[in-house]
Amino acid sequence: MRRVIGALLVATAFVLLLITGTVVSNLKETETANKKITVEEEKTEKQPIQTKDELNLYAQSAVLMDASTGRVLYGKNEELARPMASTTKIMTCIVALEYGNLSDEVTASQNAASQPKVHLGVYKGETFLLKDLLYSLMLESHNDAAMMIAEHVGGSMEGFAKMMNDKAKDLGCSNTYFITPNGLDAKEEKDGQVKEHSTTAADLARIMNYCIGQSPKKKEFLEITGTQNYSFQDLKRKQNFSCNNHNALLNSMNGAISGKTGFTGGAGYSYVGALKDDDRVFTIALLGCGWPPHKTYKWSDARKLFQYGLERFNYKDVFQETRFEDIYIKEGVPPSGRLEEPVMVSCGISDSEEKSLKMLLAEDEKVTVQTEIPRELKAPVTKGQMVGSVVYLLNGEVLKSYPVSLKEGANRLNAFWYAKTIIKNYLSMPGCKSIFSFY
C-alpha cells in the first residue's frame, strides 16, 4: 500500500509541473500589445488663444469667467500682467475679513494718514472699527483706510503684502504680485528682479471667484460690496463719515452682486465684478480700460461681457452612462476551478459618485468623453481596486475625471492551488478515501 501512495505522490508532482508549464505558456500566448481600451475618444486639441476681439472692447485686457469652475468663457489678453489700481482692494478686503475681526479697534499711523487721495482724511492716532474701515475701503476706495487695515492685520504694509501674495499663490494666481494694499502704482526690487504691483485679468477674476464663492467670509464680503450707502463715526465720535458705492452696475444691471472700480495713471480705468442669474454666476475683469476722460468705457465693456455670458452660456448636464467591458485577469483563479475558462472581472464607476455633471456651455461647445481601462491585469486583484478613469474634456481641458474600479477580485494561480486541486480531485475518485483513511 505504501508503494501505491508513493506512486500517487510522484504522479501528482509530475502532473503539477506539466500543467503549470502548459498554463503559463497558454497565458503568454494570450497577451496583447494593446494594453488599453479607449471608448468614445476624440482628438481634443486645445483651441488657440483668442486673437480677435469680437466684442470690440475698449479694455486692453479682459475676461469673462464661470465663477463656479474658473473656466474662461471669453478672453482678451487675459494672461498679460498689468497694473490693476484699486481693484487690488478685493484682496485687501478678503484677507482682512479672514485674519481680522470686524470689532477690532484700528489706530491710524502717520504713514496711513499721509496716503494720497482718494482718502478718508484720517489723522495720526485716530481710531476706527475694522468693520467701518472695510466699508470705507470698498465703497469709496479710500487709500488711507486700506493702509490702516494693512498695518493692523499684517503688522506693516510689507507684512500684509506677503499675506496677499500668499493668498494669491494659494488661489493659483501665478501672474499676480502685490506691493500695496490700496493699488497705487508701485515697483520694488526683490530677488534681483524689479517687480511691479500687477495682476492679469484672469487672476483678478479668480480672486473675485474666491471672494464671492469659496472664502469662509464670502457672506461678509458680499454684504459689504453689495451695500449702496454706509455711515459711521470714529471711535471718539468726533467725525461723521458717509460712503457711497461707486459700482454703478449694482443699480443699472439686474443680477450684479459685487464689484470694485480702480484708476491710476499707470493702470488706467479698471473694474472687477460679479453677476448672478439663477444658478449661473459670472465674474469679469477689465484692465487698462481707457484713460481720462473715458471714465465710462469700463461700464460699456462690463455690460458687453455680462450680456455675452447671459446670452451664450447655459447649464447642460453632460454626464453619460458608460458601458465597460470585463477585464481579463492574467494568471487568475477561475471561480469554477476549470483552467480552460478565462478569468474576467467587471469594473465601473463607484455608486457613491454623483451621476451628474452640469457645465456652463455655449450651444456650439461639445464635451468629449475618454474612457481608459486596461485590457488585462495580472492577478491577484481586489474588489474596489482602481484600474482606470472616465475623463470629460472640453477643448483638451479636463473638466472632471471619474475613477473606475473593479467590482470583484481574483486570486492568483500558484503551486499550492494546483496541488490542492489535484489532491481534491484524487480524493473524489472511488477508493481514494478508504486508502487514506486506512493510514
- CB 353, CB 317: distance < 8 Å: no
352 is catalytic: no
> Is 295 part of any known ligand binding site?
no
The backbone region for 316, taken as left when phi is positive above 0, alpha when psi lies in -120 to 50, beta otherwise, is: beta
> pLDDT confidence of 191, banded at 50, 70, 90?
confident
List the catalytic residue out of 61, 68, 76, 86. 86
Model confidence at 1: pLDDT above 70: no
Q: How confident is the model at residue 11 (pLDDT cuts 50, 70, 90)?
A: very low
51, pLDDT greater than 60 = no
Using the predicted structure, report yes or no on whether residue 255 has a pLDDT greater than 80. Answer: yes
Arithmetic mean of pLDDT, 64-82: 97
Once rounded to an integer, what is the mean pLDDT over residues 118-133? 97
pLDDT at 171 over 50: yes
pLDDT of residue 431: 58
- Of the residues 68, 76, 89, 215, only one is catalytic, namely 89
Is position 109 annotated as part of the catalytic site? no
What's the whole-number mean pLDDT along residues 67-85? 97
Q: Where are the beta strands (DSSP E) in 13-153?
A: 36-39, 61-66, 72-76, 105-107, 127-129
Single-letter amino acid code for the residue at 190: K
pTM of the model: 0.80
d(CA 337, CA 77): 65
What's the confidence (pLDDT) of residue 423? 63
Q: Which residue has the higher pLDDT, 298 or 343?
A: 298
In the block, cell 454703478 appears at 248
CB 116 within 8 A of CB 231: no
Among the listed residues 294, 291, 303, 194, the one whose alpha carbon sits nearest the alpha carbon of residue 247: 303
Which residue among 68, 141, 258, 270 is the active-site one? 141
Say what the pLDDT of residue 404 is. Answer: 94
Q: Which domains does the chain have, with CATH numbers?
A: 2-30+319-427 (2.60.410.10), 61-316 (3.40.710.10)
Residue 40 confidence (pLDDT)? 41
Tens-place pLDDT, residues 388-428: 999 999 988 898 999 999 998 888 887 666 666 666 655 66
Band of the pLDDT at 332, cuts 50, 70, 90? confident
Residue 329, H or E segment: strand 327-330
Give the residue-averaged pLDDT of 58-82: 97
Q: Is the pLDDT of residue 296 over 70?
A: yes
89 in catalytic set: yes
pLDDT for res 8: 46
pLDDT score for 9: 46
Q: How far apart are CA 386 and CA 353, in angstroms?
A: 14
Q: Which stretch of 6-15, 326-335, 337-346 has the lowest confidence by average pLDDT?
A: 6-15
Of 38-52, 53-67, 331-345, highest mean pLDDT: 53-67
pLDDT at 426: 54
pLDDT at 413: 80
The yes-or-no verdict on residue 346 having pLDDT over 80 is: yes
pLDDT-based confidence at 430, cuts 50/70/90?
low
Position 417 scores a pLDDT of: 63
